[in-house]
Amino acid sequence: MDTIFALATARGKAGVAVIRVSGPRALSAGQTLAGDLPPARKAGLRRLTDPRGEVLDQVLVLQFEEGASFTGEKVVEFHCHGSPATVTAVLRTLGDMDGLRMAEPGEFTRRALENGVLDLAQVEGLSDLLEAETEAQRRQALRVLSGALGEKAEGWRSALIRAAALLEATIDFADEDVPVDVTPEVLDLLCGVDATLKAEIAGVDAAERIRDGFEVAIVGPPNAGKSTLLNHLAGRDAAITSEHAGTTRDVIEVRMDLHGLPVTMLDTAGLRDSADEVESIGIARAIARAKTADLRVFLLDGTGRTEGLDPLPDDIVVRGKADVADAGTFAVSGKTGAGVADLVARIASVLQARAARAETATRERHRLAMKRACDAIVAAENRLSLGMDGAELAAEDLRCAIRALDSLVGRIDVEHVLDEIFARFCLGK
């Protein structure tokens, strides 16, 4: 096993830069650079020198024992001064040592997975946590990183193992008198797992929105002030505005943090019948994107028409140009900012209600595994509802379900997803 090292903090100038070394030679590499090391998990101030005796930096050194580190291997960390030159000098010196090499992106985390420090779902949680930009993303990712999905899977697993064992006991005694009918207990166990799995599956959609962001489309007639509103929300001139109806053609996307939720706000072409070929393409795009968005804000002019796109129940309908609208109507103005806080609060409240449906599972991969498990459990329930003749096949169904749940945490059959998951990691993680 190679000993690997990398800069664990971001590149560039900073107060501190952390360089992590992991593997069998981490300790000797640390000693070569820093002399004697402080005891495990105790920081010590040391001078790093290269083999010619040149002082590279004065740093804090930490060592972690095998089995008690991020990777599960022996780890030494140098908390250096965060200048690019210092980092380069230390990395170069480490690279010159025998048996040491620069880590690949995600390689520390891959070792953590291989050594059982993290399960696969936790690795996904860590990846999401490193990407988190909003409060909702941070909370969700931290929940997965802390092992919440693995705990749930373990609960389902042990219930299914118990159910399968009960069935197998009856199969083995098929020729004898079986003292008790196990079907009610088995069905009870399956029913419990089934119900919580279904809730988890139903929550994946919301969890994915929290991860990737909700899409909110601003739609309405030309010149209602859609682009002006987008610019106000973005705090910058993201879209061109003008007094000419039909200014916006392409869909313009702006990422923002709305009350802690990640949102991509879409500005779209004004909806109307247009003879202009390019504008018509823009309008078709506007309608297509508005339909697939999670929520639409209909920004209307004085006529109140929604121009051929109908609001869905949660959609928000609001009059634009509040400064010239009748008093008393719900109106916003991107120009003056009037009503914008109210609009944002309404958008956030709709999206928060949806986000609340998220459980623990966050990915399509999780959904598919849980769906496979759920289908197998339902198949077992159906067989058992016809009596104990189906016990043997039902037990096989349950083993299928257990295998599907095992793939959630990476216990089996996940080689093919590893590259995809680790591709998202940056160097040094």
Ligand X SMILES: Nc1nc2c(ncn2[C@@H]2O[C@H](COP(=O)(O)OP(=O)(O)OP(=O)(O)O)[C@@H](O)[C@H]2O)c(=O)[nH]1
Q: Which residues of the chain form contacts with ligand X (CB under 6 A)?
A: 222-228, 241-243, 245-248, 269-270, 321, 323-324, 333-335
- Ordered DSSP codes for 334-402: TTT-TTHHHHHHHHHHHHHHHHTT--S--SHHHHHHHHHHHHHHHHHHHHHHT-GGGHHHHHHHHHHHH
DSSP string, 134-201: SHHHHHHHHHHHTTHHHHHHHHHHHHHHHHHHHHHHHHHTTTS--SS--HHHHHHHHHHHHHHHHHHH
Minimum distance between the CB of residue 235 and K ion, rounded to whole angstroms? 20
Judged by beta carbon, residue 266 or residue 401, the one nearer ligand X is 266
Nearest approach, Cβ of 109 to ligand X (angstroms)?
A: 45
CB of 76 vs Mg ion, minimal distance in Å: 56
Nearer to K ion, 187 or 245 (CB): 245
CB of 235 to Mg ion, least distance (A): 17
Q: By three-state DSSP, how is residue 332 classified?
A: coil
∠ CA 7-13-17, nearest 5°, is 35
Residue 244 labelled as part of a binding site: yes
Closest approach of ligand X to the CB of residue 262, in Å: 24
- Say which DSSP state 322 is in: G
Q: Which residue number, 281 or 368, has a Cβ lying nearer to Mg ion?
A: 281
Look at strands 214-219 and 100-102 and give their pairing: unpaired
Angle, nearest 10°, between helix axes 120-131 and 135-145? 160
Nearer Cβ to Mg ion (59/266) = 266
Q: Is 223 annotated as a binding residue?
A: yes
243 is in an annotated binding site: yes
Per the structure block, which two tokens stand in for 272? 């109307």
Site string for Mg ion, 219-238 (x = CB under 5 A): -------xx-----------
- Do 46 and 57 meet the contact criterion of CB atoms below 8 Å apart? no
Q: Is 269 annotated as a binding residue?
A: yes
Site for Mg ion in 245-264 (CB under 5 A): 247-248
411 is in an annotated binding site: no
Binding site partner of 224, from Mg ion, ligand X, K ion, none, Cβ cut-off 5-8 A by kind: ligand X
Residue, CB closest to ligand X: 270
- From ligand X, Mg ion, K ion, none, interface partner of 335 (C-beta below 5 to 8 A by class): ligand X
Report the DSSP pairing between strands 44-49 and 295-300.
Answer: unpaired
Name the residue among 56, 163, 106 with its Cα closest to residue 395: 163
242 marked as binding residue: yes
Residue 227 C-beta: closest distance to Mg ion, Å: 3
AA identity, residue 335: K
Least distance in Å: CB of 225 to ligand X? 3
| CB nearer Mg ion, residue 199 or residue 240 | 240
The reply to whether 3 sits in an annotated binding site is: no
267 is in an annotated binding site: yes
The three state secondary structure string of 40-90 is CCCCEEEEEECCCCCEEEEEEEEEECCCCCCCCCCEEEEEEEECHHHHHHH
* CA distances in angstroms from 73 to 41, 65, 98, 103, listed in the order given: 14, 7, 18, 14
Pair 301, 223: CB distance under 8 Å: yes
Q: By CB under 5 A, how many residues form the interface with K ion? A: 2
Single out the residue of 1, 51, 55 nearest to residue 23, CA to CA. 1
In this structure, are strands 100-102 and 14-22 parallel, antiparallel, or unpaired?
unpaired
Q: Estimate to the nearest angstrom the gap between the alpha carbon of 302 and the chain centroid.
A: 42
For residues 229 and 320, the answer to whether their CB atoms sit within 8 Å is yes
User: Is 77 annotated as belonging to a binding site?
Assistant: yes
Query: What values do phi and psi take at 219, rounded to 5?
Result: -130, 165
**Shortest approach of ligand X to residue 258 CB, angstroms?**
20
134 labeled part of a ligand binding site: no
Residue nearest to K ion (CB): 247
In whole angstroms, how close is the CB of 299 to ligand X at the nearest point?
Answer: 7
Residue 259 is assigned to a ligand binding site = no
Closest to 264 measured CA to CA, from 133, 125, 129: 133
Instruction: Using the minimum distance from each CB to ligand X, give the nearer residue, 245 or 317.
Output: 245
Binders of K ion among residues 206 to 265 (CB under 5 A) are 223, 247
Closer to ligand X by CB, 71 or 333: give it: 333
Q: Which of 74, 211, 47 lies closest to 140, judged by CA? A: 211
Query: Residue 144 binds which one of ligand X, K ion, Mg ion, none, with CB within 5 to 8 A depending on kind?
Result: none
Query: 183 or 227, CB closer to Mg ion?
Result: 227
Task: Specify the residue, 156 or 298, whose C-beta has the smaller distance to ligand X.
Answer: 298
Binding interface with K ion (CB under 5 A): 223, 247
Binding interface with Mg ion (CB under 5 A): 226-227, 247-248
Q: State the binding site for (6S)-5-formyl-5,6,7,8-tetrahydrofolate.
A: 20, 77, 117, 429
Q: State the binding site for GTP.
A: 223-228, 242-248, 267-270
